[in-house]
Structures are given as structure tokens and as C-alpha cells.
């Protein structure tokens, strides 16, 4: 096994496509060397060595020491310099770099090889004492904090004290003696803290640095970053040991960072920052304000011309926007890094479209370049990126699970009712709840964002908020909410009703105060690219929408129908006429509290016009596209009040005793309602609910049809177990529907189908398909029931199941990305057997997975007809469906 790859003098052991092994930086250095660009020489220790290190109790592979020694000797020979030499010593940088770029998340050590002897060598060689001792103090400072872990603040304090002793403000004013003195202080501090002398032996320094870079792979920052960016399956970080070149030797030197195109707009302009007489980290750390790259053109025209050529070479070579670091040492240009540059979501679209139009890449490649996050982030407001990080950090209150991205600002309120009252007065609110229930839907709707102390990504609050594209943080367990006292406390702060808070749904952070937000405009390139996606994909994309408003919004996002309309959401809120909400609520509550089917029917008759009206609105919005309407699903206890005051109020309204209400609510209590009296079981035991809902659907459809609005209703039963159960539902549905249709003397096509959300239904799909005209996989429940994981509670321990430093049992949250091996197996089985019975069986998915790119690709592979996603995830599904076709094509080509 080869663990070390050399590059230098136009030759490299590795190549640009060895990112997995050499990391992005190592592969870039090797490739740039190969294609003749000016790169300082060095070697890369592979990610495989890092993997070995963590798998073997932090021990290096046994060959590593001799391999490093061999390549170090080679480097010394090539450069004609020696590490630690008293004359003109070799200095190296030791940098991290994994296969996926993780900017700033891992460690770097510069100027390694300096000690009391070699610093004099550098001083002599550069004829610059000040430069030499500045380099030395930087090294001691970095080594002490990065390798040994001494507090940065203690080191900085010594630097500040020294400057104030000398009476200078800027680092540039410190003399050689000042730096020399600081080195002495650092070393004394080092000895005091560690009990050892600062290592003088450059080889010892080197191994210290290699170890520190490996360690930084598992550092807090890096692990969090990988979780947030969903980076999995990498071996570790590589370590790049590269000859130092200096941008801080005088005014004929400098350092900079540049991009082949503008990373924030995507425009094809050469973009970058440059600092004269400075070392690389000065640009990144923002200590001095850099100048625009165009300035380099006037200051160093020859270097600029050369850099412009490098820009063109690299972009053509990599066929993507590159982010490059360079240093100019005494007028000579060196390239220190090239990598595919990070870009804003808007720029990602712009560049993909431009590059395809320029024929640098194909349209298919353009489609492959975009990620779901690019789309997601395009639409949500964000915390103004110009805000200083330190200010944000000082305002942080808590962290939760980032259920719906984007940011929201508002005044904290602790009940849904208050949210509605405040909103009515024109206030912006954030609804803060321990958990939410369907009763809260009105408050959630008017809130800017939602924060809950419990729950996971598919908990009610999250599912509903996602449908609205509303910022939502759930499972912020450390937030202590006292709804009665109207306050919450967290991290030593108390937030009372009316206090401003800000949520960042992107990373799950909760901040105090009103923080500035910015909303990015979706660029024209987005429309172009989505059209290309539509031309390629086979899967159709529908939406989960419960209101005409959402249905319209979803069409704007490209939805080709509704895959799931959850009718129960209509029981609580009149989205078009909020003043009618109370009437709806009372009708449903009366229905639930009714003692016999007669009074239940009476209450249902009050609900009928509301539901019919809703369906008419939805059919109109969808104008001829298919609409799948699901009959009532949640357990009834979710619709009745639990606190005595509200029960008394309700009792008064409907003219029964408060005790009767309390008794009925008590009767409805279930130990495990998710596996209880819910789904189609409600229609089996209370057929009058089914009758009312089917009537509302069919009457709405007929009404629309008469007015020339085309309709394609699909009536869907939830939580079906088997054929026998479905048969009862299907017959009841057809009996009601057909009678209305024949009484109205019209022709109306409609379908009756089922959700597949229980393992038993999946297993018996072949029989169910004898009667069902379509299947829709409810993978939220199917995941819950297959894995035995509660979708509402699993958030408490799931993070540990997916944390790579903890149990790491799952790669991703199974409620977010479909568990292909387990749940996916049932899906495949059900499709295969369903289609055996009924070859034209229409099949889709309506669980949250329908808006997750990886899951959409699975749905394509298993031959579904469509996926259904919440409105804001429709474009994500469209893109993923196109990518699925492209990947498929590639796989087939590969097989041939």
C-alpha cells in the first residue's frame, strides 16, 4: 500500500481524479503540477492513512514513517534545501484536505521547520530579520494552539501586550526584536503549560503537525460540517506537506484567492482578492482589507497576465468554476491550491446554464451539478450574510433540529391562539411550543416561524411547516418552555412573550433579538435549468397540498397534480375565510362528541359545505390535473380540547354538559394513538364520515365539471391493512359516489385507491390491487411501522443513531431519506405484486420522502409513476427525477 504521493518539478505520482485518496487539495496540486502550472513541490499523505489512524487506536500505518522520510529527502533534494538548516533552510506548510471541500473546518500549520537555528538561516537568506522572526512567531503560535491545543486567546493576549509595550498598533510596525521577544514569551508559556520545551527538531514538529491534521478530521467543527452538508462515506483527510513560498517578503510579493467566475452571482468575470506583502491566512482571516484582483493588473501586470492564463487553463481543464489560492514571491507566481469553488445557490444555476451554453459541459452535466440544497436555499430567506459572526454567536440561545430551512424573525408567543391574535394586530410572531398538534394549525399558519422543544423532522410541526415553506426548528430540547408563565429560558437567557427572537432553520440555531434577513431572488437561469430537467425526467411530480392557495403555489413550482390532500387539515382552519374557522371546528367537535350515528350525521352535514367548497377550490387550482384526496386520518382525540376550561366552553356552545365532553375525551384517549383508532379504521367504524367526505368530493367535482373545469378525482383510503378491509371501504365509496353521479345524470371518472403505509398492506399488495386502482406509498407511516420508530418521538435519540462519532447506525435519518434496504424492500415487493395483479396500477409516493432527492431516485428506479412533495420541494423532486434518468443512462452505458 502506497501512503505518500509526491509532486514537484512537473511530475506527480498522483492525478486530479484521485480525490478520494489524495483529497481535493492533494489531487489539485498533483494535477496542476502535471499540466505544467507553477506549483511548489511537496507530498500528500493519503486519506487511507487517516482512515487507518482512526481504525487502529490512533496509530499510523507502520510503513508511513519510512515513506514520509523518503519523500522528505526527495523534497530536500529537489529544492536543494534542508529542513532545520542553519543556512537557507526548507520550510513547509502542513495542510488538511479531504475529498469534499470543507473550508476552514480542519487545520493547517505554516512555516514548519523553523527553530532557533533555522530562523537565522532564513534571516540570512532573505536578508530580512524582521520577516524571519515574524515567520517564526507565527509558527510557534500556530503549533502551540493547533498541535498542542493551548488556548488561542492566551497567545493573542501576549501578542497584544507586546504591541502595547512597543506602542504600536499594526503587526506591520513590529520590529524583528519585537517578534524575537514574542517567540521567547510563547516558548516560556509553552513550557509552563506542557512541562516540555518547544520542539526544536523539525521532524518531531512535522509528526506533531501530521497528527494534528488527522485529529482535526474528527474535530467538532468538521463533524458538524459533514452532518450539515450531508457528507458521508469519506475515508478521512489527507495531509499535504508543501514547500513554503512567501508572499510577505516585500512589496514585490503578495498572496490572494481568486475564482474563475463570480461565486456569488455566477457572472463570468475574474473575481478575487489580493494582498501585497502578506501571508495566505491574512486574506482569509480578514485582518487587512484586501484589494480587488484588478489592482494586481496595474501593480504586477506580468503576474496578472500569467494568472489570467492559469484561470483559463484550469477552468477548461476541470470544466467547472475553480477557487484558487496563489502566492507571489519576489515577482514569481505560485499556485497553492485549486478546487471546485463553492457558490451561492443563484450562482450555481447561472454557471451551470452558462457553461452548458458555452459547450464547456453538456446539459446533462449541468443538471447533475445542482443539488437539492441549491434549490432549497434559493427560495428561503436567510440571515443576512453580511452580519458579523461574533455578533451572531453572542446572541445564540439554543439549538434544535433544522426541520425547515430559511430564517424567520418575530416576537415570541407561546400559544397558537395568541399567535393568531397577535398576527391579526399585524405583529410578526414566532410560535414557541413544547410540541404542536393539529389544533395549532391556525397559529402555525400565521407565524413567521415555529420552534418546538420536542419532535423530529417528520413530526407534525415539521411536516406542516415544510408544506408552507415556513422556517421551523423542532426538538430544541434544552429550551425550557413555560407556556403558562408565557416565557422560555435557555442558555441563561429568558425570553418573554413579545420579545423578539430569530430562527435559523438552516442550521437549527435560535437567536435573541431581531436579526436582519435577506431574501434571494431566483434567477432566470433557474427557470432554464428546470425546463431542461422536465425535458429529461420520466417520473411525474405532484404536490402535497390541502388548500387552494397551496395548490396554486405548487403549480407555480411545477406540480403536475396533487398526490395528497390531507382533508383533516380543513377541519380546523378556513384558509380562505378565517372568520369561518370557528364554525368548522365546532362542527367537527360536535361530530366527535356525538353519541349516536344520527347526531353524528347532523354534525357532519354542517361540515359538508365547507369541505365541498375546499375541494372546488382545489379542483379549480389544478384544472384537469389529477387530485388525490385522502379521507380522514388522525385519531379523533387530536380534534377535541384537553384542558377543562376549553372543554367547558365547547360544552356550552353545543349544549351538553362539561362532564359529557370530558368523558368523551377520556374515552378517546389511547395509549398508542399512532397505532390506534385512526386512518381508514375511522371510516370502518363511522361510515358516515366516509359518506360525507365522498359526497363533498363528488359534488365538488360535478360542480366544477358543469362549469367546464376538468377534474380527475382520486379518492384515497389511509392506513389500509388488507383486501378485506379495503373492499368495505371501496364498496362504500362507490355506492355513495355512483348514486350522486347517477342522480346528477352526468358522467364522471374517478378512481378509488389506497395508501400503502403498513407492512401488512405492502406484503399483501397483490390482493389489494385486485380492487385498488392506485397505490400511494405513505412512507412516513411505513417507515414508522416497519422500523418500529415513532415518527413523533424518534427525534430524541435519532441524532445519536446518525452521528458518525456516536452509534452511526444509520447513514441518514430514515424519516428524511428512505431506508432503501428495509422499507424500500417492502416498497419494491408491493409494486411488483401490485402490478402482477393489475399491470396498469398507478403508483406514487406521498410521504415526506417524495421531496428528498435520493428517495426520488429510488422511486424512479422501482418504476413509480409519480412522486408527491410539499410545494416548496416540487422543484427538488423535478431535478432529482431528471438526475435519476441521467444516472440510469450512465449505469447502463457502464454495463455495456
Residue 683: CB minimum distance to Mg ion, A: 14
The contact mask relative to Mg ion for 772-791 (x = CB under 5 A, - = no) is: ------x--x----------
Q: Which is nearer to ligand PEP, 406 or 844 (CB)?
A: 844
Q: Which of 52, 460, 569, 849 is catalytic?
A: 460
- CA–CA separation, 491 and 494 (whole Å): 8
First to last CA, the chain: 31
Q: Are 328 and 247 in contact (CB under 8 A)?
A: yes
d(CA 103, CA 109): 15
Contact window for ligand PEP (CB under 6 A) among 110-118, 160-168, 611-619, 775-783? 775-783
Q: Where are the alpha helices (DSSP H) in 431-506?
A: 441-446, 460-468
Find the part of the chain contacting Mg ion (CB under 5 A) among 428-436, 519-527, 744-752, 757-765. Answer: 757-765
Q: Directed axis angle between helix 129-142 and helix 118-126, to 10°? A: 140
**Binding range to ligand PEP, per CB under 6 A, among 186-194, 516-524, 744-752, 777-785:** 777-785
Q: Establish if 488 lies at the interface with ligand PEP (CB under 6 A).
A: no
DSSP letter at 90 equals B
Task: For residue 439, state whether it binds ligand PEP (rule: CB under 6 A).
Answer: no
Q: Determine, following the binding rule CB under 6 A, whether residue 847 of this chain makes contact with ligand PEP.
A: yes
Query: Among 846, 849, 859, 860, which one carries the catalytic annotation?
Result: 846
Size of residue set near Mg ion by CB under 5 A: 3
Burial 411-441 (b: 16+ CB within 10 A, else e): bbbbbbebbbebbeeebbbbbbbebbbbbbb
CB of 616 to ligand PEP, least distance (A): 23
Task: Give the residue with the Cβ less far from ligand PEP, 313 or 780.
Answer: 780
Q: Residues 731 to 770: which contact ligand PEP by CB under 6 A?
A: 757
User: Could you tell me which residues come within 8 angstroms of residue 715 by beta carbon, excluding any fewer than 6 positions away?
Assistant: 629, 631, 694, 697, 733, 737, 750, 751, 752, 753
Return the number of the residue (779 or 817) whose C-beta is nearest ligand PEP.
779
Half-sphere exposure of 573 (CA within 13 A, CB side): 20
Nearest approach, Cβ of residue 860 and ligand PEP (Å): 18
- Following DSSP, what letter does each residue of 366-385 receive, concatenated? HHHH--HHHHHHHHS-EE-T
| All cell numbers assigned to 472 | 421551523
**DSSP class of residue 147?**
I
Total binding residues for ligand PEP by CB under 6 A? 10
Place of cell 384537469: 624
**Minimum CB–partner distance for residue 691 and ligand PEP (Å):** 21
Q: Which does 545 bind (CB under 5 to 8 A by kind): Mg ion, ligand PEP, none?
A: none
Give the pairing of strands 493-496 and 401-404.
Answer: unpaired
Q: Could you tell me the three cell numbers for 451?
A: 420552534
Q: Which does 846 bind (CB under 5 to 8 A by kind): ligand PEP, Mg ion, none?
A: ligand PEP
Q: Which does 564 bind (CB under 5 to 8 A by kind): ligand PEP, Mg ion, none?
A: ligand PEP
Per-residue string for binding with ligand PEP, 587-616, x by CB under 6 A?
A: ------------------------------
Name the segment binding ligand PEP (CB under 6 A); options: 275-283, 334-342, 376-384, 772-780: 772-780
Given the complex with Mg ion, which of 354 and 781 has the nearer CB atom?
781
Query: Is 819 a binder of ligand PEP (CB under 6 A)?
Result: no
Any bridge partners for residue 4, and if so which? Answer: 45
User: Could you give the angle at which helices 874-895 and 853-861 cross, rounded to 10 degrees?
Assistant: 50
**All 3 cell numbers of residue 778?**
405513505
Query: H helices then E strands: how many in the chain?
Result: 35, 32
CB-nearer residue toward ligand PEP: 523 or 844: 844
Pick 282 or 638: Cβ nearer ligand PEP: 638
Within 10 Å of residue 723's Cβ, how many Cβ atoms? Answer: 19
841, 834 Cβ separation under 8 angstroms: yes
Distance (Å) of CA 496 to CA 160, 392, 440, 483, 513: 40, 20, 20, 10, 12
Q: Is 275 in the site for ligand PEP (CB under 6 A)?
A: no
The verdict on 790 binding ligand PEP (CB under 6 A) reads: no
Q: Please, which residue, 370 or 867, has the CB nearer to ligand PEP?
A: 867
Told to check if 859 binds ligand PEP by CB under 6 A, we report no
- Residue 813 as a binder of ligand PEP (CB under 6 A): the answer is no
Footprint on residues 612-641 left by ligand PEP (CB under 6 A): 633
Residue 14 found at the interface with ligand PEP (CB under 6 A)? no
**Is the distance from CB of 874 to CB of 557 less than 8 angstroms?**
yes
Residue from the set 243, 779, 786, 816 that interacts with ligand PEP by CB under 6 A: 779
Distance CA 175, CA 19 (A): 43
CA pair distance 23, 5, nearest whole angstrom: 12
- Return the SS3 of 38: coil
Residue 635 within binding range of Mg ion, rule CB under 5 A: no
Note whether 696 and 611 are within 8 A (CB).
yes
How many C-beta atoms surround the C-beta of residue 657 within 10 A? 11
Angle (CA) 28-30-33 rounded to 5° is 105
Minimum Å distance from CB 675 to ligand PEP?
12
Binding part of the chain for ligand PEP, among 49-57, 112-120, 174-182, 779-787 by CB under 6 A, reads 779-787
Helix (H) or strand (E) holding 845: strand 842-845
Q: Which is nearer to ligand PEP, 20 or 757 (CB)?
A: 757
What is residue 108's three-state secondary structure?
Answer: strand
* Cα separation, 433 vs 715, whole angstroms: 34
Q: Which does 548 bind (CB under 5 to 8 A by kind): Mg ion, ligand PEP, none?
A: none
Cα–Cα distances in angstroms (integers) from residue 616 to residues 620, 711, 712, in the given order: 6, 10, 12
Q: Does 714 bind ligand PEP (CB under 6 A)?
A: no
Shortest Cβ distance from residue 846 to ligand PEP (Å)?
A: 5
> Which one of 481, 554, 846, 867 is in contact with ligand PEP (CB under 6 A)?
846
- Our finding on whether 778 is near ligand PEP (CB under 6 A) is yes
Residue 779 binding partner per list ligand PEP, Mg ion, none, with a CB distance cut-off of 5 to 8 Å that depends on partner kind: ligand PEP
CB of 225 to ligand PEP, least distance (A): 31
Pick between residue 566 and residue 613 the one whose CB is nearest to ligand PEP. 566
258 given a catalytic annotation: no
Residue 205 makes contact with ligand PEP by CB under 6 A: no
- In 3D space, the residue among 185, 372, 252, 472 whose CA is nearest the CA of residue 855 turns out to be 372
Distance CA 683, CA 688 (A): 7
Least distance from ligand PEP to the Cβ atom of residue 727, Å = 22
Q: Let me know if 704 is a catalytic residue.
A: no
When the beta carbons of 121 and 455 are compared against Mg ion, the nearer one is: 455
The residue sitting closest to Mg ion, measured at its beta carbon, is 781
How far apart are the C-alpha atoms of 758 and 779, rounded to whole Å?
9
Nearest alpha carbon to residue 348 among 324, 385, 375 = 375
Q: Which of residues 548-577 bind ligand PEP (CB under 6 A)?
A: 564, 566
Rounded to a whole number of angstroms, the minimum distance from the CB of residue 718 to Mg ion is: 6
Taking the complex as a whole, how short is the minimal distance between the CB of residue 723 and Mg ion, in angstroms? 19
Q: How far is the CB of 635 from Mg ion (least distance, A)?
A: 12
568 binds Mg ion (CB under 5 A): no
- The nearest distance, CB 564 to Mg ion, in angstroms, is 9
Helices (H), 167-247: 176-194, 202-217, 220-228
The piece of 311-319, 326-334, 489-497, 774-782 that touches ligand PEP (CB under 6 A) is 774-782
Four-CA torsion 707, 711, 715, 716, nearest 10 degrees: -140
Query: What residues act catalytically?
Result: 460, 846
Interacting residue ranges for ligand PEP, rule: CB under 6 A: 564, 566, 633, 757, 778-781, 846-847
Contact residues for Mg ion, defined by CB under 5 A: 757, 778, 781
Amino acid at each position: 500500500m502506497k501512503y505518500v504521493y509526491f509532486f514537484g518539478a512537473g511530475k506527480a505520482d498522483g492525478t486530479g481524479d484521485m480525490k478520494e485518496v489524495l483529497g481535493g487539495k492533494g489531487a489539485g496540486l498533483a494535477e496542476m503540477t502535471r499540466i505544467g502550472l507553477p506549483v511548489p513541490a511537496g507530498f500528500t499523505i493519503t486519506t487511507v492513512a487517516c482512515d487507518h489512524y482512526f481504525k487502529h487506536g490512533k496509530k499510523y500505518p507502520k510503513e508511513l514513517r519510512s515513506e514520509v522520510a523518503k519523500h522528505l529527502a526527495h523534497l530536500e533534494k529537489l529544492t536543494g534545501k534542508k529542513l532545520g538548516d542553519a543556512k537557507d533552510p526548507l520550510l513547509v506548510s502542513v495542510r488538511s484536505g479531504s475529498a469534499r471541500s470543507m473550508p476552514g473546518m480542519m487545520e493547517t500549520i505554516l512555516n514548519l521547520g523553523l527553530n532557533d537555528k533555522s530562523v537565522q538561516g532564513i534571516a540570512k537568506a532573505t536578508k530580512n530579520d524582521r520577516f524571519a522572526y515574524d515567520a517564526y512567531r507565527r509558527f510557534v503560535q500556530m503549533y502551540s494552539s493547533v498541535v498542542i491545543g493551548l488556548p488561542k486567546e492566551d497567545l493573542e493576549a501576549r501578542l497584544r501586550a507586546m504591541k502595547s509595550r512597543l506602542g504600536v498598533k499594526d503587526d506591520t510596525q513590529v520590529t524583528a526584536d519585537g517578534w524575537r521577544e514574542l517567540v521567547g514569551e510563547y516558548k516560556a508559556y509553552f513550557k509552563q503549560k506542557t512541562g516540555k520545551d518547544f520542539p526544536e527538531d523539525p521532524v518531531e514538529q512535522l509528526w506533531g503537525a501530521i497528527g494534528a491534521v488527522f485529529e482535526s478530521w474528527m474535530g467538532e467543527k468538521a463533524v458538524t460540517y459533514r452532518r450539515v452538508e450531508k457528507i458521508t462515506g469519506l475515508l478521512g483527510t489527507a495531509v499535504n506537506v508543501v514547500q513554503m513560498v512567501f508572499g510577505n517578503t516585500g512589496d514585490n510579493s503578495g498572496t490572494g484567492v481568486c475564482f474563475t467566475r463570480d461565486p456569488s452571482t455566477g457572472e463570468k468575470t475574474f473575481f478575487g482578492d489580493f494582498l501585497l506583502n502578506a501571508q495566505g491566512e491574512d486574506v482569509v482571516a480578514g485582518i487587512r482589507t484586501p484589494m480587488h484582483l484588478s489592482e494586481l493588473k496595474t501593480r504586477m501586470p506580468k503576474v496578472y497576465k500569467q494568472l489570467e492564463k492559469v484561470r483559463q487553463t484550469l477552468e477548461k481543464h476541470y470544466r467547472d468554476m475553480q477557487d484558487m489560492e496563489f502566492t507571489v514571491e519576489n515577482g514569481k507566481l505560485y499556485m497553492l491550491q485549486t478546487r471546485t469553488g463553492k457558490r451561492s445557490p443563484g450562482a450555481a444555476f447561472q454557471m451551470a446554464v452558462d457553461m452548458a451554453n458555452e459547450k464547456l459541459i453538456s446539459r446533462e452535466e449541468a443538471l447533475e451539478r445542482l443539488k437539492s440544497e441549491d434549490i432549497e436555499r434559493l427560495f428561503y430567506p436567510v440571515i443576512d450574510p453580511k452580519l458579523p459572526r461574533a455578533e451572531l454567536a453572542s446572541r445564540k440561545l439554543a439549538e434544535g433540529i433544522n426541520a425547515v430551512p430559511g430564517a424567520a424573525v418575530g416576537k415570541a408567543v407561546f400559544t397558537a391562539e395568541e399567535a393568531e391574535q397577535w398576527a391579526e394586530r399585524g405583529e410578526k410572531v414566532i410560535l414557541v411550543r413544547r410540541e404542536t398538534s393539529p389544533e395549532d394549525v391556525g397559529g402555525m399558519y400565521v407565524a413567521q416561524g415555529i420552534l418546538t422543544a420536542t419532535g423530529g423532522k417528520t413530526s407534525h410541526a415539521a411536516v406542516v411547516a415544510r408544506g408552507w415553506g415556513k422556517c421551523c426548528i423542532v426538538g430544541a430540547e434544552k429550551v425550557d418552555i413555560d407556556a403558562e408563565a408565557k416565557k422560555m429560558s435557555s442558555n441563561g437567557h429568558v425570553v418573554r412573550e413579545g420579545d423578539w427572537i430569530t430562527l435559523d432553520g438552516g442550521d437549527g440555531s435560535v437567536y435573541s433579538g431581531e436579526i436582519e434577513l435577506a431574501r434571494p431572488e431566483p434567477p432566470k437561469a433557474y427557470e432554464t435549468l428546470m425546463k431542461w430537467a422536465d425535458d429529461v425526467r420520466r417520473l411525474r411530480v405532484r404536490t402535497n397540498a390541502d388548500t387552494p392557495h397551496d395548490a396554486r403555489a405548487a403549480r407555480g413550482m411545477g406540480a403536475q397534480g396533487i398526490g395528497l390532500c390531507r382533508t383533516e387539515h380543513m377541519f380546523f382552519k378556513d384558509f380562505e375565510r378565517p372568520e369561518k374557522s370557528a364554525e368548522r371546528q365546532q362542527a367537527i367537535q360536535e361530530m366527535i362528541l356525538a353519541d349516536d350515528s344520527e347526531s353524528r350525521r347532523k354534525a357532519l352535514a354542517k361540515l359538508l359545505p365547507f369541505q365541498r367548497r375546499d375541494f372546488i377550490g382545489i379542483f379549480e387550482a389544478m384544472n384537469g390535473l389529477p387530485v388525490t384526496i385522502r379521507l380522514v386520518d388522525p385519531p379523533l382525540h387530536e380534534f377535541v380540547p384537553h384542558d377543562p376550561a376549553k372543554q367547558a366552553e365547547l360544552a356550552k356552545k353545543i349544549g351538553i354538559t362539561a362532564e359529557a365532553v370530558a368523558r368523551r375525551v377520556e374515552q378517546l384517549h389511547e395509549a398508542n394513538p399512532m397505532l390506534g383508532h385512526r386512518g381508514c379504521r375511522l371510516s370502518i367504524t363511522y361510515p358516515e364520515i366516509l359518506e360525507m367526505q365522498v359526497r363533498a368530493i363528488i359534488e365538488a367535482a360535478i360542480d366544477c365539471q358543469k362549469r367546464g373545469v376538468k377534474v380527475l378525482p382520486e379518492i384515497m383510503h389511509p392506513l389500509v391493512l388488507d383486501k378485506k378491509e379495503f373492499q368495505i371501504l371501496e364498496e362504500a365509496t362507490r355506492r355513495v359516489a355512483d348514486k350522486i353521479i347517477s342522480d346528477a345524470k352526468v358522467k364522471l371518472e374517478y378512481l378509488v385507491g389506497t395508501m400503502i403505509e403498513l407492512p401488512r398492506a405492502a406484503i399483501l399488495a397483490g390482493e389489494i390491487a385486485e380492487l385498488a386502482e392506485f397505490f400511494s406509498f405513505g412512507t412516513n407511516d411505513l417507515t414508522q411501522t416497519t422500523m418500529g420508530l415513532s415518527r413523533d418521538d424518534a427525534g430524541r435519540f435519532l441524532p445519536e443513531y446518525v452521528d458518525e462519532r456516536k452509534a452511526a447506525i444509520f447513514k441518514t435519518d430514515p424519516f428524511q431519506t428512505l431506508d432503501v434496504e428495509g422499507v424500500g424492500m417492502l416498497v419494491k415487493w408491493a409494486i411488483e405484486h401490485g402490478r402482477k395483479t393489475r399491470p396498469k396500477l398507478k403508483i406514487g409516493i406521498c410521504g415526506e420522502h417524495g421531496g428528498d432527492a435520493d428517495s426520488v431516485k429510488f422511486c424512479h428506479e422501482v418504476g413509480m409513476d409519480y412522486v408527491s412533495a410539499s410545494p416548496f420541494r416540487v422543484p427538488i423532486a423535478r431535478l432529482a427525477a431528471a438526475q435519476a434518468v441521467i444516472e440510469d443512462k450512465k449505469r447502463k452505458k457502464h454495463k455495456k
